[in-house]
Structure 1
Amino acid sequence: MSGPTADALFELTDALLATGPVISLPYLSLDGLHRRGHGSTYAALAQGRVDAEAARGLLAGSLPGVTHPVFALDGSVWARSDAECSPGRGYYYHPSKHSAGQPIVAGWAYCWLAALELAANSWTAPVDARRLVPGEHPSAVAAVQIRGLLQRRPELGSRTPLFVFDGDYDSVRLALGLAGAPAQLLIRVRCDRSFYGAPSPRHRPGVVRLRWHGAKFACANPTTWPTPDAVHTCADEQ
């Protein structure tokens, strides 16, 4: 797309990034970065298109060169409680907003992929953002995002980047979704999570039904912990 509509969409994006909370769309046209009338705002949204893949490629190509690349994946929710006709709206957990006394709101959920630094600071480099379709699992979307980044930046594979996740992500689903990918995964495990080992073979005659699970490993119950293969202990300065 080219012409005035493309320019209006570009300026609308600038205004959205530079302006604080707004009541409605026409207020964005009042920002100094948006030099057109409020009518062009609606025209830009109705006729404009953003090439998401080109944007992802541009962001991935702008990543700084580091020896040990680290990325974080997390989700955020945009509450749309009153927008009953919004397409793709679902029900998601929100840490600070409640509905009927529960931290569940109707809205849109986004999966973010951002580059971090090993040094402690407050800056990140967003690389990818995808909106969840109701019913999609965040871990499955995260695996798609990681594979997409490794395809756009294949040289990262030689440094085996580290991807970190919060406890809302499923470690098993991520490991299966990224099998064979040159990536390291660091996932926070909830204290009440349980895992099961491989089932042991049965030798009892006449038993046809096979076991699905082996020994249970419950994080909250130390008596179920097996002998570790390796132990790593470190101290953080904070």
Structure 2
Amino acid sequence: MTDSGREDALGDLVAFRQGFYDSLARRGDALFELCEAVLCSDGPVRSMVGLSLAPEHRRGHGALYDAVNHGRVEIDRLRTALTQVRLPRAADGRLVLAVDVSPWLRPDGATCPDRSFCHTYGRGKDEHRMIPGWPYSIVAALETGGTSWTAPLDAQRLAPGADVAAVTVAQIRDVTQRLISAGQWREGDPDIWFVLDAGYEGPRIAYLLADLPVQILARMRSDRVLRRAAGAWVPNPAGGRPPKHGSEFVFGDPATWQDTDVETSCGTRLYGTVTAQAWDRLHPILTRRAAWAGYEGELPIISGTVIRLRVEHLPSGGVNKPVWLWWSGVDATAADVDWCWRMFLRRFDIEHMFRMWKQTLGWTRPQLREPESADRWTWLTLVAYTQLRLARPLADDLRRPWEKPVEPQRLTPARVRRGFRCIAAKTGSPADAPKPTRPGPGRPSGSKNRSRAARHDVGRILATGEPYTRPAHHKKGTKPRRTG
């Protein structure tokens, strides 16, 4: 990178750090230095109190916990600062964002309010567990090419009983409007893409966001059943109204697929030959229950393109099953189909980001009681990762003797973090020096804490608030799911 490019990258990092400090309304100096300690500590973060021993954290452990428990972060101001930084873009200049939920598991936190049962995978085959914790919905911009970097833009904790689709729609709408206000999207630019996994109802989200310049790409379960568009209507002398839906398209029954509208095939290094089949203008049948119970008027027809993706082999050697995708666009070309499945594969970069947050930056390490404290620590983790991404052009490869050298553009977040202490010395710290003080008296020796903390029941993330039961379409051997 040229000297001018490094100066621009350093200027972007300094500006973001100043914006982050300005968004800390209470205990700002302690919160800023806590984030510095996360970035400059040697090795993974094992505990929060251990960060008070880092040279960048000039305050004691009491100030550290006081900042997390009683500090205040202006989240809206911080969200605006995140949308104003330079974001990664695809080859055609469009923004591709992923939305996913990652849990902060707290199975032993009986005194923690607002916990929900979070879906997690066990170590056994097809083993699913519901463990209490705080689920967070994260929005991040994706890069292209061989990299695991992302640009997180928003984090929101899901409350018990929340409608995940409604919360996701509000979150996507807020992020999109902030991107437009920041000039990241202008009139005439390609639509912003949002890539979702199978836990989201793609057609419903696309319908609720139809007024925004966004497109939705979501994975669908393999037991779904969609309908084709109704054909030409021939009036019946006996009466009757024209049909609203065409023939069925059953994902698990090839006899109902008929001819594909688009089919592409190409070779890849990891997956071998990749074959994608696409069928145009398919829609789910909506019923007046659950999310559509209070809908006024006739239920809409939400048409899209269904893509069946099949690879020759998996790098891990697992079970090779086809992947079904639903795209909110219609009249897809071969280039559109290739673009869709390639962008869906980029969605897995957000999983690498979650692993970096949890295993290296210590996102879920602290045993915090209040969910508001967990929100502050979550945003500190997000800001720390963003600073690593902005410092990426400035970092040197401080590799271990057993590691292979890599190009500066391909440094991983963990390698950038090794040299962040040297980079932070060039940016300066807006935090003020701590004032001399004395520790408090604390609890008298020999006394006991007689105020018992309140216990809280675990809620569930359901729009209805009813007790959780495993859905029938999640069980093996059941009939295909024919309603949306």
| Fold shared by both chains (TM-score > 0.5) | yes
- Residues 1:212 and 1:30: Cα distance change in structure 2 (over 3 Å): farther
Gaps of 5+ in 2: 1-23, 270-484
CA-to-aligned-CA distance 1:150-182 (integer Å, 9 cap, x gap): 211214253211111111111122112212210
The separation in 2 between residues aligned to 1:168 and 1:38, in whole angstroms, is 40
Please state if 1:11 is matched with 2:33.
Answer: yes
* Shift, 1:108, TM fit: 0.8
Q: Which runs of 5+ in 1 are unaligned?
A: none
Alignment partner, residue 49 of structure 1:
72
Q: Per-residue deviation at 1:196?
A: 4.6
Q: Is the 8 A contact 1:97 1:104 kept in 2?
A: no
**Equivalent of 2:255, from 203, 223, 237?**
223
Counterparts of residues 1-238 of structure 1 (less than 5 Å): 5-16=27-38, 20-23=44-47, 25-64=48-87, 66=89, 67-96=93-122, 102-154=128-180, 155=183, 156=185, 158-196=189-227, 215-225=247-257, 230-235=261-266, 237-238=268-269
CA change 1:56–1:22 in 2 (3 A) is same
CA 1:65–1:72: 2 relative to 1, 3 Å: closer
Q: Secondary structure at the match of 1:103?
A: strand
Normalized against structure 1, the TM-score is what?
0.81
**Quick one: percent identity of the two aligned structures?**
36
Aligned-residue CA RMSD in angstroms? Answer: 3.2
Paired residues of 2:25 and 2:71 also in contact (CA < 8 A): no
Separation in 2, partners of 1:132, 1:103: 18
Residues 96 and 11 of structure 1: CA distance in aligned 2, closer, same or farther (over 3 Å)? farther
Mapped to 1, the partners of 2:63 and 2:123 lie a distance apart of 33
Contact 1:140 1:173 survives alignment (8 Å): no
Q: Which amino acid aligns with 1:217?
A: F
Asked whether the equivalents of residues 196 and 218 of structure 2 are also in contact (C-alpha less than 8 Å), the reply is yes
In structure 1, what is the Cα distance between the partners aligned to 2:145 and 2:226? 33
Computing the radius of gyration from Cα coordinates, the structure with the larger value is 2
Counterpart amino acid of residue 172 in structure 1:
P
What secondary structure is seen at the aligned counterpart in 2 of 1:15? Answer: helix
The TM-score normalised by the length of structure 2 is 0.42
Residues 80, 39 of structure 1: alpha-carbon distance in 2 compared, 3 angstrom cutoff? same
Partner Cα separation in structure 2 for residue 86 and residue 140 of structure 1 = 25
Note if contact 1:97-1:103 (Cα within 8 Å) is conserved in structure 2: no
Are the aligned partners of 1:69 and 1:117 in contact in 2 as well (CA < 8 Å)?
no
**CA displacement 1:102-157 (0-9 Å, x = unmatched):** 42211011111111123231111111111111222333222222211221121425
Residues 70, 118 of structure 1: 8 Å contact kept: no
Distance 2:159 2:39 in 1: 24
Please tell me whether the aligned partners of residues 114 and 126 of structure 1 are also in contact (alpha carbons under 8 angstroms): yes
Tell me how far apart the structure 2 counterparts of residues 36 and 65 of structure 1 sit (CA, whole Å). Answer: 36
Superimposed CA distance per residue, residues 52-77 of structure 1 (whole angstroms, 9 cap, x where no aligned partner): 11111111111336412111111111
- Counterpart CA distance in 2 for 1:198 and 1:227 is 15
Local SS of the residue matching 1:72 = strand
Tell me which of the two structures has the higher relative contact order, counting C-alpha pairs closer than 8 angstroms and 6 or more residues apart.
2
Distance 1:81 1:18, change over 3 A: farther
| Aligned residue type for 1:63 | R
Amino acid paired to 1:42? Y
CA gap of 1:21–1:213, structure 2 versus 1, over 3 A, is farther
Counterpart amino acid of residue 79 in structure 1: L
Indicate conservation of the 8 Å contact 1:97/1:105, yes or no: no
The offset of 1:17, in angstroms, is 5.2
Give the SS at the match of 2:167.
helix
